[in-house]
Structure 1
Protein backbone atom coordinates (compact mmCIF):
# COMPACT_ATOMS: atom_id res chain seq x y z
CA UNK A 1 0.00 0.00 0.00
CA UNK A 2 1.31 3.43 -0.96
CA UNK A 3 1.02 5.95 1.85
CA UNK A 4 -0.09 9.49 1.03
CA UNK A 5 1.73 11.74 3.52
CA UNK A 6 -0.52 14.08 5.44
CA UNK A 7 1.69 17.08 4.68
CA UNK A 8 1.52 16.58 0.90
CA UNK A 9 -2.13 16.58 -0.13
CA UNK A 10 -4.49 18.73 -2.11
CA UNK A 11 -7.23 20.62 -0.33
CA UNK A 12 -7.82 23.26 2.32
CA UNK A 13 -7.28 23.46 6.08
CA UNK A 14 -8.93 26.00 8.38
CA UNK A 15 -6.02 27.52 10.30
CA UNK A 16 -6.42 30.33 12.85
CA UNK A 17 -9.56 31.71 11.27
CA UNK A 18 -8.79 31.41 7.58
CA UNK A 19 -8.46 28.73 4.93
CA UNK A 20 -4.97 27.96 3.70
CA UNK A 21 -3.84 25.46 1.05
CA UNK A 22 -3.31 22.06 2.66
CA UNK A 23 0.47 22.03 2.15
CA UNK A 24 0.85 25.50 3.71
CA UNK A 25 -0.74 24.61 7.09
CA UNK A 26 2.57 24.50 8.98
CA UNK A 27 3.96 25.22 12.45
CA UNK A 28 7.45 25.96 13.71
CA UNK A 29 9.65 23.14 15.01
CA UNK A 30 9.88 24.97 18.36
CA UNK A 31 6.15 25.02 18.94
CA UNK A 32 5.25 24.38 22.58
CA UNK A 33 2.52 21.90 21.64
CA UNK A 34 5.09 19.69 19.90
CA UNK A 35 7.59 19.65 22.76
CA UNK A 36 5.29 19.59 25.77
CA UNK A 37 2.04 18.09 24.41
CA UNK A 38 0.08 21.23 25.30
CA UNK A 39 -2.63 20.44 22.79
CA UNK A 40 -6.14 19.02 22.61
CA UNK A 41 -8.06 17.63 19.68
CA UNK A 42 -11.27 16.03 18.48
CA UNK A 43 -12.06 13.23 16.06
CA UNK A 44 -15.39 13.65 14.27
CA UNK A 45 -17.17 11.89 11.43
CA UNK A 46 -19.52 13.24 8.81
CA UNK A 47 -22.12 11.04 7.15
CA UNK A 48 -24.19 12.20 4.17
CA UNK A 49 -22.90 15.73 4.70
CA UNK A 50 -23.74 15.97 8.43
CA UNK A 51 -21.11 15.95 11.18
CA UNK A 52 -22.44 13.51 13.78
CA UNK A 53 -22.93 15.23 17.15
CA UNK A 54 -20.84 18.20 16.08
CA UNK A 55 -21.74 20.44 19.02
CA UNK A 56 -20.92 17.70 21.55
CA UNK A 57 -17.48 17.36 19.99
CA UNK A 58 -16.95 21.12 20.01
CA UNK A 59 -18.02 21.35 23.65
CA UNK A 60 -15.55 18.64 24.56
CA UNK A 61 -12.76 20.41 22.65
CA UNK A 62 -13.36 23.57 24.70
CA UNK A 63 -13.62 21.57 27.91
CA UNK A 64 -10.36 19.74 27.19
CA UNK A 65 -8.59 23.05 26.57
CA UNK A 66 -9.78 24.43 29.90
CA UNK A 67 -8.55 21.31 31.70
CA UNK A 68 -5.13 21.95 30.13
CA UNK A 69 -5.28 25.59 31.26
CA UNK A 70 -5.98 27.55 28.10
CA UNK A 71 -8.93 29.07 26.28
CA UNK A 72 -9.75 28.57 22.62
CA UNK A 73 -9.86 32.04 20.99
CA UNK A 74 -13.05 31.39 19.01
CA UNK A 75 -16.65 30.76 19.90
CA UNK A 76 -18.23 27.33 19.66
CA UNK A 77 -20.43 28.65 16.88
CA UNK A 78 -17.33 29.70 14.92
CA UNK A 79 -15.71 26.28 15.36
CA UNK A 80 -18.91 24.48 14.33
CA UNK A 81 -19.20 26.64 11.22
CA UNK A 82 -15.51 26.15 10.40
CA UNK A 83 -15.91 22.36 10.59
CA UNK A 84 -18.81 22.44 8.17
CA UNK A 85 -17.06 24.83 5.79
CA UNK A 86 -13.84 22.78 5.88
CA UNK A 87 -15.80 19.80 4.66
CA UNK A 88 -17.47 21.86 1.94
CA UNK A 89 -14.19 23.39 0.76
CA UNK A 90 -12.75 19.89 0.35
CA UNK A 91 -15.83 18.58 -1.49
CA UNK A 92 -16.56 15.97 1.16
CA UNK A 93 -19.81 14.52 2.44
CA UNK A 94 -18.33 11.35 4.01
CA UNK A 95 -15.39 12.52 6.07
CA UNK A 96 -13.27 12.37 9.18
CA UNK A 97 -12.59 15.77 10.80
CA UNK A 98 -9.71 16.67 13.10
CA UNK A 99 -9.95 19.97 15.01
CA UNK A 100 -6.87 20.67 17.13
CA UNK A 101 -5.86 23.49 19.49
CA UNK A 102 -2.34 23.94 20.85
CA UNK A 103 0.10 26.40 22.41
CA UNK A 104 2.41 28.22 20.00
CA UNK A 105 6.10 29.11 19.88
CA UNK A 106 6.43 32.36 21.88
CA UNK A 107 7.79 30.42 24.87
CA UNK A 108 9.56 27.07 25.08
CA UNK A 109 9.69 25.90 28.67
CA UNK A 110 7.46 23.94 30.99
CA UNK A 111 5.64 27.16 31.91
CA UNK A 112 4.40 28.88 28.77
CA UNK A 113 1.39 30.97 29.72
CA UNK A 114 2.16 33.75 27.24
CA UNK A 115 1.93 31.54 24.18
CA UNK A 116 -0.66 32.09 21.47
CA UNK A 117 -3.30 29.38 21.21
CA UNK A 118 -3.64 28.16 17.63
CA UNK A 119 -6.57 26.23 16.19
CA UNK A 120 -6.72 24.18 13.00
CA UNK A 121 -9.34 21.96 11.38
CA UNK A 122 -8.68 19.38 8.67
CA UNK A 123 -11.06 16.95 6.96
CA UNK A 124 -10.38 13.97 4.76
CA UNK A 125 -11.95 10.77 3.50
CA UNK A 126 -11.15 8.01 5.99
CA UNK A 127 -13.16 4.77 6.16
CA UNK A 128 -13.51 2.80 9.38
CA UNK A 129 -10.29 2.54 11.38
CA UNK A 130 -10.22 -1.25 11.05
CA UNK A 131 -11.12 -1.49 7.38
CA UNK A 132 -13.76 -3.27 5.33
CA UNK A 133 -13.25 -6.65 7.02
CA UNK A 134 -13.92 -5.40 10.52
CA UNK A 135 -17.34 -7.03 10.78
CA UNK A 136 -15.76 -10.48 11.06
CA UNK A 137 -14.24 -9.22 14.29
CA UNK A 138 -10.85 -7.73 15.16
CA UNK A 139 -8.16 -9.06 17.48
CA UNK A 140 -6.71 -7.37 20.57
CA UNK A 141 -3.48 -8.03 22.39
CA UNK A 142 -2.96 -7.01 26.01
CA UNK A 143 -1.05 -3.77 26.46
CA UNK A 144 1.78 -3.55 28.96
CA UNK A 145 1.13 0.18 29.41
CA UNK A 146 -1.76 1.20 31.66
CA UNK A 147 -4.14 4.12 31.66
CA UNK A 148 -3.06 6.50 34.45
CA UNK A 149 -4.91 7.54 37.55
CA UNK A 150 -6.89 10.80 37.11
CA UNK A 151 -4.67 12.13 39.91
CA UNK A 152 -1.60 11.81 37.67
CA UNK A 153 -2.94 12.84 34.25
CA UNK A 154 -5.89 14.90 32.92
CA UNK A 155 -7.87 11.79 31.97
CA UNK A 156 -11.12 13.70 31.32
CA UNK A 157 -9.53 15.66 28.46
CA UNK A 158 -8.82 14.58 24.90
CA UNK A 159 -5.24 15.74 25.28
CA UNK A 160 -2.57 14.88 22.75
CA UNK A 161 -0.10 13.60 25.35
CA UNK A 162 -2.47 10.94 26.64
CA UNK A 163 -2.19 9.10 23.32
CA UNK A 164 1.54 8.40 23.60
CA UNK A 165 0.99 5.12 25.49
CA UNK A 166 -1.78 4.26 23.03
CA UNK A 167 0.67 4.51 20.15
CA UNK A 168 3.24 2.41 21.99
CA UNK A 169 0.61 -0.20 22.86
CA UNK A 170 -0.83 -0.43 19.37
CA UNK A 171 2.58 -0.71 17.76
CA UNK A 172 3.45 -3.57 20.11
CA UNK A 173 0.12 -5.31 19.41
CA UNK A 174 0.56 -5.01 15.66
CA UNK A 175 4.06 -6.46 15.93
CA UNK A 176 2.45 -9.52 17.56
CA UNK A 177 -0.15 -9.85 14.79
CA UNK A 178 -3.10 -8.19 16.56
CA UNK A 179 -5.22 -5.32 15.23
CA UNK A 180 -5.13 -3.31 18.45
CA UNK A 181 -4.52 -3.59 22.19
CA UNK A 182 -6.74 -3.69 25.24
CA UNK A 183 -5.41 -1.45 28.00
CA UNK A 184 -5.88 -1.88 31.73
CA UNK A 185 -5.97 1.02 34.16
CA UNK A 186 -3.51 1.81 36.95
CA UNK A 187 -5.40 -0.58 39.26
CA UNK A 188 -5.23 -3.50 36.83
CA UNK A 189 -8.89 -3.26 35.78
CA UNK A 190 -10.11 -3.12 32.17
CA UNK A 191 -9.96 0.39 30.69
CA UNK A 192 -10.25 0.67 26.89
CA UNK A 193 -8.51 -0.04 23.61
CA UNK A 194 -5.88 2.41 22.37
CA UNK A 195 -8.43 4.74 20.79
CA UNK A 196 -11.90 3.34 21.46
CA UNK A 197 -14.04 2.31 24.41
CA UNK A 198 -14.67 -1.37 25.18
CA UNK A 199 -17.97 -3.17 25.78
CA UNK A 200 -18.57 -6.72 27.04
CA UNK A 201 -21.69 -8.90 27.09
CA UNK A 202 -22.17 -10.90 30.30
CA UNK A 203 -25.30 -13.02 30.71
CA UNK A 204 -27.25 -11.00 28.13
CA UNK A 205 -26.32 -7.62 29.67
CA UNK A 206 -24.01 -4.97 28.23
CA UNK A 207 -21.15 -4.04 30.58
CA UNK A 208 -18.57 -1.30 30.14
CA UNK A 209 -15.88 0.12 32.46
CA UNK A 210 -16.55 3.35 34.32
CA UNK A 211 -14.57 6.15 32.59
CA UNK A 212 -12.39 7.08 35.56
CA UNK A 213 -8.89 6.94 34.06
CA UNK A 214 -9.86 7.37 30.41
CA UNK A 215 -12.12 9.46 28.18
CA UNK A 216 -15.90 9.11 28.39
CA UNK A 217 -16.39 8.81 24.64
CA UNK A 218 -19.22 10.44 22.72
CA UNK A 219 -19.69 7.22 20.75
CA UNK A 220 -19.59 5.32 24.04
CA UNK A 221 -22.50 7.32 25.44
CA UNK A 222 -24.37 7.03 22.14
CA UNK A 223 -24.05 3.23 22.13
CA UNK A 224 -25.24 3.02 25.73
CA UNK A 225 -28.33 5.06 24.87
CA UNK A 226 -29.03 2.87 21.82
CA UNK A 227 -28.74 -0.24 23.97
CA UNK A 228 -31.25 1.10 26.48
CA UNK A 229 -33.64 2.03 23.68
CA UNK A 230 -33.46 -1.60 22.56
CA UNK A 231 -34.23 -2.91 26.06
CA UNK A 232 -30.65 -4.07 26.62
CA UNK A 233 -29.55 -3.58 30.21
CA UNK A 234 -26.42 -1.42 30.49
CA UNK A 235 -24.07 -1.71 33.44
CA UNK A 236 -21.16 0.68 34.09
CA UNK A 237 -18.79 -0.80 36.63
CA UNK A 238 -15.29 -1.92 37.50
CA UNK A 239 -14.43 -4.86 35.23
CA UNK A 240 -11.54 -6.97 36.46
CA UNK A 241 -9.06 -8.28 33.91
CA UNK A 242 -9.90 -11.82 35.03
CA UNK A 243 -13.50 -11.36 33.81
CA UNK A 244 -12.53 -11.05 30.15
CA UNK A 245 -12.60 -14.81 29.73
CA UNK A 246 -16.29 -15.18 30.59
CA UNK A 247 -17.68 -12.53 28.20
CA UNK A 248 -19.83 -13.91 25.39
CA UNK A 249 -19.46 -10.88 23.10
CA UNK A 250 -17.02 -7.97 22.92
CA UNK A 251 -16.95 -4.85 20.76
CA UNK A 252 -15.26 -1.45 20.56
CA UNK A 253 -16.95 1.92 20.08
CA UNK A 254 -15.38 5.19 18.97
CA UNK A 255 -15.60 7.82 16.26
CA UNK A 256 -12.85 6.27 14.15
CA UNK A 257 -13.77 2.66 15.00
CA UNK A 258 -17.55 3.24 14.98
CA UNK A 259 -18.96 -0.03 16.42
CA UNK A 260 -16.51 -2.84 15.70
CA UNK A 261 -16.87 -6.47 16.87
CA UNK A 262 -13.96 -8.20 18.60
CA UNK A 263 -13.32 -11.88 17.95
CA UNK A 264 -10.22 -12.34 20.09
CA UNK A 265 -8.47 -10.84 23.10
CA UNK A 266 -5.08 -12.48 23.64
CA UNK A 267 -5.98 -16.19 23.86
CA UNK A 268 -9.72 -15.69 24.43
CA UNK A 269 -12.08 -16.05 21.47
CA UNK A 270 -15.55 -14.52 20.97
CA UNK A 271 -18.34 -14.72 18.43
CA UNK A 272 -20.22 -11.50 17.62
CA UNK A 273 -23.83 -12.15 18.59
CA UNK A 274 -27.26 -10.56 18.84
CA UNK A 275 -26.35 -7.60 21.04
CA UNK A 276 -23.28 -6.65 19.01
CA UNK A 277 -25.22 -7.00 15.72
CA UNK A 278 -28.10 -4.91 17.02
CA UNK A 279 -25.84 -2.07 18.10
CA UNK A 280 -23.78 -2.16 14.90
CA UNK A 281 -26.99 -1.74 12.90
CA UNK A 282 -28.57 0.83 15.22
CA UNK A 283 -25.45 3.01 15.22
CA UNK A 284 -25.08 2.79 11.43
CA UNK A 285 -28.68 3.94 11.09
CA UNK A 286 -28.40 6.75 13.64
CA UNK A 287 -25.36 8.43 12.10
CA UNK A 288 -27.15 8.65 8.74
CA UNK A 289 -30.00 10.67 10.23
CA UNK A 290 -30.07 14.45 9.97
CA UNK A 291 -29.15 16.35 13.18
CA UNK A 292 -32.83 17.19 13.61
CA UNK A 293 -33.80 13.52 13.35
CA UNK A 294 -31.13 12.58 15.88
CA UNK A 295 -32.51 15.13 18.35
CA UNK A 296 -36.06 13.92 17.86
CA UNK A 297 -34.98 10.34 18.44
CA UNK A 298 -33.18 11.31 21.64
CA UNK A 299 -36.19 13.24 22.99
Structure 2
Protein backbone atom coordinates (compact mmCIF):
# COMPACT_ATOMS: atom_id res chain seq x y z
CA UNK A 1 0.00 0.00 0.00
CA UNK A 2 1.27 3.46 -0.90
CA UNK A 3 1.43 6.07 1.84
CA UNK A 4 -1.23 8.74 1.48
CA UNK A 5 1.40 11.48 1.55
CA UNK A 6 3.55 9.96 -1.20
CA UNK A 7 1.52 9.50 -4.38
CA UNK A 8 1.32 10.83 -7.89
CA UNK A 9 -1.66 13.00 -8.73
CA UNK A 10 -3.33 16.31 -7.97
CA UNK A 11 -5.09 17.73 -4.91
CA UNK A 12 -7.19 20.90 -4.99
CA UNK A 13 -6.13 23.36 -2.27
CA UNK A 14 -7.43 26.86 -1.61
CA UNK A 15 -8.51 27.53 -5.19
CA UNK A 16 -5.94 25.70 -7.28
CA UNK A 17 -4.68 22.23 -8.14
CA UNK A 18 -1.31 21.32 -6.63
CA UNK A 19 0.95 18.31 -6.89
CA UNK A 20 -0.05 15.57 -4.45
CA UNK A 21 3.22 15.67 -2.50
CA UNK A 22 3.05 19.48 -2.22
CA UNK A 23 -0.35 19.51 -0.47
CA UNK A 24 1.02 20.36 2.97
CA UNK A 25 0.17 22.39 6.06
CA UNK A 26 2.36 23.89 8.80
CA UNK A 27 2.92 22.06 12.08
CA UNK A 28 1.31 25.01 13.92
CA UNK A 29 -1.94 24.66 12.00
CA UNK A 30 -4.73 25.32 14.49
CA UNK A 31 -6.72 22.23 13.46
CA UNK A 32 -3.80 19.96 14.32
CA UNK A 33 -3.79 21.23 17.90
CA UNK A 34 -7.45 22.03 18.58
CA UNK A 35 -9.45 19.89 16.09
CA UNK A 36 -10.97 22.90 14.29
CA UNK A 37 -11.67 20.85 11.18
CA UNK A 38 -14.67 19.46 9.30
CA UNK A 39 -14.82 17.08 6.37
CA UNK A 40 -16.97 15.12 3.95
CA UNK A 41 -16.57 11.65 2.46
CA UNK A 42 -18.23 11.11 -0.91
CA UNK A 43 -18.15 8.60 -3.74
CA UNK A 44 -18.08 9.29 -7.44
CA UNK A 45 -19.72 6.63 -9.63
CA UNK A 46 -19.45 6.71 -13.42
CA UNK A 47 -18.30 10.32 -13.32
CA UNK A 48 -21.03 11.61 -10.98
CA UNK A 49 -20.66 12.27 -7.25
CA UNK A 50 -23.64 10.80 -5.43
CA UNK A 51 -25.52 13.55 -3.56
CA UNK A 52 -22.49 15.79 -4.01
CA UNK A 53 -24.30 19.10 -3.58
CA UNK A 54 -25.81 17.92 -0.30
CA UNK A 55 -22.36 16.89 0.92
CA UNK A 56 -20.94 20.32 0.06
CA UNK A 57 -23.83 22.06 1.81
CA UNK A 58 -23.32 19.91 4.89
CA UNK A 59 -19.61 20.75 4.88
CA UNK A 60 -20.44 24.44 5.12
CA UNK A 61 -23.03 23.80 7.85
CA UNK A 62 -20.52 21.76 9.82
CA UNK A 63 -18.03 24.61 9.65
CA UNK A 64 -20.67 27.06 10.89
CA UNK A 65 -21.41 24.74 13.83
CA UNK A 66 -17.70 24.94 14.69
CA UNK A 67 -17.89 28.75 14.45
CA UNK A 68 -16.07 29.33 11.17
CA UNK A 69 -17.02 30.05 7.57
CA UNK A 70 -15.61 28.29 4.53
CA UNK A 71 -14.61 31.01 2.00
CA UNK A 72 -16.05 29.07 -0.95
CA UNK A 73 -19.67 28.58 -2.03
CA UNK A 74 -21.35 25.21 -2.49
CA UNK A 75 -21.03 25.72 -6.26
CA UNK A 76 -17.31 26.45 -5.96
CA UNK A 77 -16.76 23.38 -3.78
CA UNK A 78 -18.60 21.25 -6.34
CA UNK A 79 -16.43 22.66 -9.14
CA UNK A 80 -13.31 21.92 -7.09
CA UNK A 81 -14.33 18.29 -6.62
CA UNK A 82 -14.88 17.70 -10.31
CA UNK A 83 -11.67 19.56 -11.20
CA UNK A 84 -9.75 17.24 -8.88
CA UNK A 85 -11.38 14.15 -10.38
CA UNK A 86 -10.65 15.32 -13.94
CA UNK A 87 -7.03 16.17 -13.13
CA UNK A 88 -6.51 12.61 -11.83
CA UNK A 89 -8.46 10.92 -14.62
CA UNK A 90 -10.99 9.29 -12.29
CA UNK A 91 -14.63 8.47 -12.95
CA UNK A 92 -15.00 6.15 -9.94
CA UNK A 93 -13.34 7.36 -6.75
CA UNK A 94 -13.74 8.35 -3.13
CA UNK A 95 -13.74 12.13 -2.62
CA UNK A 96 -12.57 13.84 0.57
CA UNK A 97 -13.27 17.54 1.10
CA UNK A 98 -11.79 19.00 4.28
CA UNK A 99 -11.87 22.51 5.74
CA UNK A 100 -9.87 23.72 8.72
CA UNK A 101 -8.48 26.67 10.64
CA UNK A 102 -4.92 27.05 9.45
CA UNK A 103 -1.78 28.60 10.88
CA UNK A 104 -2.00 32.35 11.48
CA UNK A 105 -1.70 35.05 14.11
CA UNK A 106 -3.41 33.00 16.83
CA UNK A 107 -1.97 29.90 18.49
CA UNK A 108 -4.26 29.19 21.40
CA UNK A 109 -7.82 28.00 21.87
CA UNK A 110 -9.09 31.14 20.14
CA UNK A 111 -8.27 31.36 16.44
CA UNK A 112 -10.47 34.10 14.99
CA UNK A 113 -7.58 35.68 13.07
CA UNK A 114 -6.39 32.47 11.43
CA UNK A 115 -7.30 31.72 7.81
CA UNK A 116 -9.82 29.04 6.97
CA UNK A 117 -8.48 26.63 4.37
CA UNK A 118 -10.12 24.09 2.10
CA UNK A 119 -8.76 21.07 0.27
CA UNK A 120 -10.33 18.41 -1.94
CA UNK A 121 -8.54 15.11 -2.48
CA UNK A 122 -9.58 11.72 -3.74
CA UNK A 123 -8.45 8.17 -4.30
CA UNK A 124 -9.65 4.96 -5.85
CA UNK A 125 -11.19 2.84 -3.09
CA UNK A 126 -12.96 -0.50 -3.11
CA UNK A 127 -15.17 -2.01 -0.39
CA UNK A 128 -14.56 -0.29 2.95
CA UNK A 129 -15.05 -3.56 4.83
CA UNK A 130 -13.46 -5.84 2.23
CA UNK A 131 -15.16 -9.22 1.79
CA UNK A 132 -17.58 -8.39 4.61
CA UNK A 133 -19.65 -6.77 1.86
CA UNK A 134 -20.65 -10.31 0.89
CA UNK A 135 -20.52 -12.44 4.03
CA UNK A 136 -21.34 -9.88 6.72
CA UNK A 137 -19.10 -7.79 8.93
CA UNK A 138 -18.13 -8.78 12.46
CA UNK A 139 -18.50 -5.95 14.99
CA UNK A 140 -17.12 -5.47 18.46
CA UNK A 141 -19.05 -3.45 21.05
CA UNK A 142 -17.15 -0.26 21.87
CA UNK A 143 -16.44 0.88 25.41
CA UNK A 144 -16.72 4.51 24.31
CA UNK A 145 -20.12 6.13 23.87
CA UNK A 146 -21.44 8.86 21.59
CA UNK A 147 -21.58 12.01 23.76
CA UNK A 148 -24.50 14.08 24.96
CA UNK A 149 -25.38 16.70 22.29
CA UNK A 150 -25.11 19.33 25.00
CA UNK A 151 -21.35 18.65 25.00
CA UNK A 152 -20.58 18.49 21.26
CA UNK A 153 -21.97 19.82 17.95
CA UNK A 154 -23.32 16.37 17.03
CA UNK A 155 -24.84 17.53 13.73
CA UNK A 156 -21.39 18.49 12.42
CA UNK A 157 -19.13 16.09 10.57
CA UNK A 158 -16.19 17.31 12.61
CA UNK A 159 -12.78 15.69 12.88
CA UNK A 160 -12.66 15.91 16.67
CA UNK A 161 -15.78 13.79 17.06
CA UNK A 162 -13.96 10.82 15.50
CA UNK A 163 -11.27 10.47 18.19
CA UNK A 164 -13.27 7.85 20.13
CA UNK A 165 -14.21 6.20 16.84
CA UNK A 166 -10.56 5.65 15.95
CA UNK A 167 -9.85 4.14 19.37
CA UNK A 168 -12.93 1.93 19.15
CA UNK A 169 -12.06 0.69 15.68
CA UNK A 170 -8.48 -0.08 16.72
CA UNK A 171 -9.76 -2.11 19.66
CA UNK A 172 -12.18 -3.96 17.38
CA UNK A 173 -9.51 -4.78 14.81
CA UNK A 174 -7.30 -6.15 17.58
CA UNK A 175 -10.09 -8.67 18.27
CA UNK A 176 -10.39 -9.66 14.60
CA UNK A 177 -13.47 -7.51 13.97
CA UNK A 178 -14.12 -5.12 11.10
CA UNK A 179 -15.58 -2.36 13.24
CA UNK A 180 -17.31 -1.55 16.52
CA UNK A 181 -20.88 -0.64 17.39
CA UNK A 182 -21.23 2.26 19.81
CA UNK A 183 -23.92 3.04 22.37
CA UNK A 184 -24.89 6.63 23.11
CA UNK A 185 -24.48 8.46 26.41
CA UNK A 186 -27.83 7.04 27.62
CA UNK A 187 -26.99 3.45 26.76
CA UNK A 188 -29.07 3.20 23.59
CA UNK A 189 -27.69 1.61 20.41
CA UNK A 190 -26.19 4.43 18.32
CA UNK A 191 -24.01 3.61 15.30
CA UNK A 192 -20.74 2.07 14.16
CA UNK A 193 -17.54 4.14 14.19
CA UNK A 194 -18.20 5.60 10.74
CA UNK A 195 -21.56 4.25 9.65
CA UNK A 196 -25.21 4.21 10.68
CA UNK A 197 -26.89 0.92 11.58
CA UNK A 198 -30.18 -0.82 10.68
CA UNK A 199 -31.89 -3.95 12.01
CA UNK A 200 -34.66 -6.20 10.66
CA UNK A 201 -37.32 -8.03 12.68
CA UNK A 202 -40.50 -9.65 11.34
CA UNK A 203 -40.17 -7.87 8.01
CA UNK A 204 -39.86 -4.40 9.55
CA UNK A 205 -36.79 -2.23 9.90
CA UNK A 206 -35.54 -0.56 13.07
CA UNK A 207 -32.81 2.09 13.16
CA UNK A 208 -31.57 4.32 16.00
CA UNK A 209 -32.95 7.83 16.19
CA UNK A 210 -30.09 10.20 15.25
CA UNK A 211 -30.54 12.62 18.11
CA UNK A 212 -26.90 12.57 19.24
CA UNK A 213 -24.99 11.44 16.15
CA UNK A 214 -24.86 12.25 12.45
CA UNK A 215 -27.94 11.53 10.35
CA UNK A 216 -25.96 10.20 7.40
CA UNK A 217 -26.92 10.97 3.82
CA UNK A 218 -26.65 7.28 2.96
CA UNK A 219 -28.89 6.52 5.93
CA UNK A 220 -31.46 8.97 4.57
CA UNK A 221 -31.18 7.42 1.10
CA UNK A 222 -31.77 3.91 2.45
CA UNK A 223 -34.80 4.99 4.49
CA UNK A 224 -36.28 6.47 1.30
CA UNK A 225 -35.60 3.20 -0.53
CA UNK A 226 -37.35 1.22 2.22
CA UNK A 227 -40.34 3.57 2.20
CA UNK A 228 -40.64 3.23 -1.56
CA UNK A 229 -40.78 -0.54 -1.13
CA UNK A 230 -43.57 -0.25 1.43
CA UNK A 231 -41.39 -1.51 4.27
CA UNK A 232 -42.15 -0.09 7.70
CA UNK A 233 -39.20 1.79 9.22
CA UNK A 234 -39.06 2.55 12.94
CA UNK A 235 -36.65 5.36 13.84
CA UNK A 236 -36.44 5.01 17.60
CA UNK A 237 -34.30 4.41 20.66
CA UNK A 238 -33.07 0.81 20.69
CA UNK A 239 -32.04 -0.90 23.93
CA UNK A 240 -28.99 -3.24 23.98
CA UNK A 241 -31.09 -6.25 25.03
CA UNK A 242 -33.09 -5.93 21.81
CA UNK A 243 -30.09 -7.06 19.74
CA UNK A 244 -30.90 -10.67 20.57
CA UNK A 245 -34.26 -10.46 18.80
CA UNK A 246 -33.17 -8.91 15.51
CA UNK A 247 -32.79 -11.19 12.50
CA UNK A 248 -30.75 -9.07 10.08
CA UNK A 249 -28.46 -6.07 10.34
CA UNK A 250 -26.59 -3.75 7.99
CA UNK A 251 -24.46 -0.61 8.06
CA UNK A 252 -24.80 2.45 5.82
CA UNK A 253 -22.34 5.17 4.94
CA UNK A 254 -20.60 6.73 1.97
CA UNK A 255 -17.53 4.56 2.53
CA UNK A 256 -19.47 1.52 3.82
CA UNK A 257 -22.26 1.91 1.23
CA UNK A 258 -24.65 -0.85 2.40
CA UNK A 259 -22.70 -3.56 4.22
CA UNK A 260 -24.34 -6.58 5.88
CA UNK A 261 -23.47 -7.39 9.49
CA UNK A 262 -23.14 -11.02 10.56
CA UNK A 263 -22.19 -10.54 14.20
CA UNK A 264 -22.14 -7.87 16.94
CA UNK A 265 -20.42 -9.09 20.08
CA UNK A 266 -22.16 -12.39 20.94
CA UNK A 267 -25.20 -11.65 18.75
CA UNK A 268 -25.45 -13.13 15.26
CA UNK A 269 -27.52 -12.11 12.24
CA UNK A 270 -28.31 -13.66 8.89
CA UNK A 271 -27.38 -11.91 5.67
CA UNK A 272 -31.00 -12.15 4.60
CA UNK A 273 -33.08 -11.30 1.56
CA UNK A 274 -33.97 -7.75 2.60
CA UNK A 275 -30.35 -6.91 3.41
CA UNK A 276 -29.25 -8.14 -0.01
CA UNK A 277 -32.13 -6.36 -1.76
CA UNK A 278 -31.24 -3.01 -0.20
CA UNK A 279 -27.53 -3.49 -0.83
CA UNK A 280 -28.11 -4.34 -4.48
CA UNK A 281 -30.71 -1.61 -4.86
CA UNK A 282 -28.30 0.96 -3.49
CA UNK A 283 -25.60 -0.15 -5.93
CA UNK A 284 -28.06 0.29 -8.80
CA UNK A 285 -29.22 3.69 -7.56
CA UNK A 286 -25.79 5.27 -7.18
CA UNK A 287 -24.71 4.12 -10.63
CA UNK A 288 -27.88 5.13 -12.42
Q: Name the CA distance, whole Å, in 1 between partners of 2:108 and 2:275.
A: 47
Cα distance, 1:115 vs. partner?
0.8
Cα distance, 1:134 vs. partner?
2.0
Q: Name the CA distance, whole Å, in 2 between partners of 1:155 and 1:128.
A: 27
Q: Name the CA distance, whole Å, in 1 between partners of 2:241 and 2:67.
A: 38
- The residue number in structure 2 matching 1:87 is 85
- The residue number in structure 2 matching 1:297 is none
Q: Name the CA distance, whole Å, in 2 between partners of 1:241 and 1:211.
A: 16
Aligned counterpart in structure 2 of residue 35 of structure 1, from 27, 33, 38:
33
Cα-Cα RMSD: 0.7
- The residue number in structure 1 matching 2:228 is 229
Conserved in 1, the CA contact under 8 Å of 2:132 and 2:260?
A: no
Cα deviation, 1:236-291, whole Å, max 9, x if unaligned, reads 000011111110000000000000000001111111112111100110000001xx
Counterparts in 2 of 1:109-258, with a 5 A limit? 109-258=108-257
Cα deviation, 1:196-249, whole Å, max 9, x if unaligned, reads 000011221111001111100000000000011111111100001111111000
Provide TM-score, normalisation by structure 2: 0.98
Name segments (4+ residues, structure 1) moved above 4 Å.
none
Q: Name the CA distance, whole Å, in 1 between partners of 2:155 and 2:243.
A: 25
Q: Name the CA distance, whole Å, in 1 between partners of 2:176 and 2:12.
A: 37
Cα distance, 1:132 vs. partner?
3.8
Cα deviation, 1:127-171, whole Å, max 9, x if unaligned, reads 121114421101000000000011011110000000000000000
Counterparts in 2 of 1:272-283, with a 5 A limit? 272-283=271-282
Q: Name the CA distance, whole Å, in 1 between partners of 2:99 and 2:159.
A: 10
Which shows bigger deviation, 51-60 or 273-282?
273-282
Q: Name the CA distance, whole Å, in 2 between partners of 1:133 and 1:154.
A: 32
- The residue number in structure 2 matching 1:72 is 70
- The residue number in structure 1 matching 2:47 is 49
- The residue number in structure 2 matching 1:63 is 61
- The residue number in structure 2 matching 1:97 is 95
Conserved in 1, the CA contact under 8 Å of 2:132 and 2:259?
A: no
Cα deviation, 1:98-125, whole Å, max 9, x if unaligned, reads 0000001112111111110000000110
Q: Name the CA distance, whole Å, in 2 between partners of 1:75 and 1:264.
A: 42
Given the alignment of the two structures, is residue 265 of structure 1 paired with residue 264 of structure 2, yes or no? yes
Indicate the SS of the match to 1:13.
Answer: strand
Q: Name the CA distance, whole Å, in 2 between partners of 1:32 and 1:172.
A: 28
The alignment of Structure 1 onto Structure 2 pairs a total of residues equal to 287
Provide TM-score, normalisation by structure 1: 0.95
